[in-house]
Amino acid sequence: MGLAAAIEAKRAGLKAVVLEKGTVVHTIYRWPRETVFFSEAKNIEIGGHPFPSLGPKPTRREALQYYRRVAENEALDIRTYTEVLRIQPQAGQFTVAYRDRDGEGELESRFVLVATGYYDNPNRLGVPGEDLPHVRYGLDETLPYWKQRVVVVGGSNSAVEAALELYRGGARVTVVHHEAEIRPRVKYWLKPDFDNRVKEGSIQLLLKAQVREILPRAVVLEQEQAWHTLPADFVLIHIGYRAADGLLRAAQVAYQGDAPLLSPVYETSLRGLFVAGSAGYGSDTRTVFIENGREHARLAVGEIARRLQGCPA
């Protein structure tokens, strides 16, 4: 949402700087390499730039190229490898402390929009052994898992997608899910594929199963009140995410439950501090997408522009 907001700001004649701790569209860069969007290309366009895609849904690779080229064409001021450390309100403006490869620095700004997403904050199982080196959150390449016994924990899109990729990459896959069925909302082109792989025995599916402990070469499960041990060379945990909202919490914005209180234009309780995208949604990250997050950016920047009318930006 940072890019979408920066384009909106540029169109409104404002000076905006994007501080990004990784590379441009770092989150999509970190997705599994073969990811295909569930959205159609036109629904994830930003700044009115057409997104050409070869298939009905764009691929991760197409999206990386698209967003990078939009950033270039718009000549946005994006400072990559620059991590924001703190946002401090001070006398009607904000001091934004950051660290880049040359050390630490500060920027002053009248308005700040936080769009830190959720991808850095995977949900954890909270069981012993979760920090062992063979336990991972997310999948990039399948090759390291070739001929390995991989336990995938989860029952939604990312777990199903990972299980299918791993199976096709030559891994021996078991999916462990605590509910009685895989989430019915799994991408419509993945669900039948997954169901058929389970039916034919290519992927093992254990339902109503809870991971109780992870051991170096096994997972301890509780299923229907019985405990058993499942051999595992790797454990991939795909049980969702929580907002990466550490900057908001440190700035002491007001919260309701696990999400910040936001106005209809996505302003926090600190006047001038806005949020766009999943960072403002606590554990409810599933309801925010690029599709609707773009609207947060548009409304927030529209409000900033309105307040600055007649004032120098």
Residues in contact with ligand FAD by CB under 6 A are 1-2, 19-22, 26-27, 31, 35, 37-39, 44, 83-84, 115-117, 119-120, 158, 244, 247, 277-279, 288-291, 293
What type of residue sits at position 247?
L
Which residue's CB is nearer to ligand FAD, number 219 or number 279?
279
Instruction: Tell me how far, at minimum, the Cβ of 38 lies from ligand FAD, in Å.
Output: 4
Q: Please, what is the angle between helix 2-11 and helix 290-308, to 10°? A: 40
Which residue's CB is nearer to ligand FAD, number 8 or number 20?
20
Give the list of residues 6+ apart from residue 303 with CB closer than 8 angstroms, or none.
265, 267, 274
Q: Where are the beta strands (DSSP E) in the chain?
A: 18-19, 78-79, 83-90, 93-100, 103-109, 112-114, 135-136, 149-153, 172-176, 203-206, 209-215, 218-223, 226-231, 234-237, 255-256, 259-260, 273-275
Instruction: Tell me how far, at minimum, the Cβ of 23 lies from ligand FAD, in Å.
Output: 8
Question: CB neighbours (10 Å) of residue 248?
Answer: 24
Which residue's CB is nearer to ligand FAD, number 19 or number 219?
19
Instruction: Tell me how far, at minimum, the Cβ of 220 lies from ligand FAD, in Å.
Output: 28
Instruction: Tell me how far, at minimum, the Cβ of 307 lies from ligand FAD, in Å.
Output: 23
Which residue's CB is nearer to ligand FAD, number 117 or number 155?
117
Which residue's CB is nearer to ligand FAD, number 218 or number 274?
274
**What's the Cα-to-Cα distance from 276 to each of 13, 51, 77, 196, 292, rounded to whole Å?**
20, 22, 18, 39, 10
Instruction: Tell me how far, at minimum, the Cβ of 266 lies from ligand FAD, in Å.
Output: 11
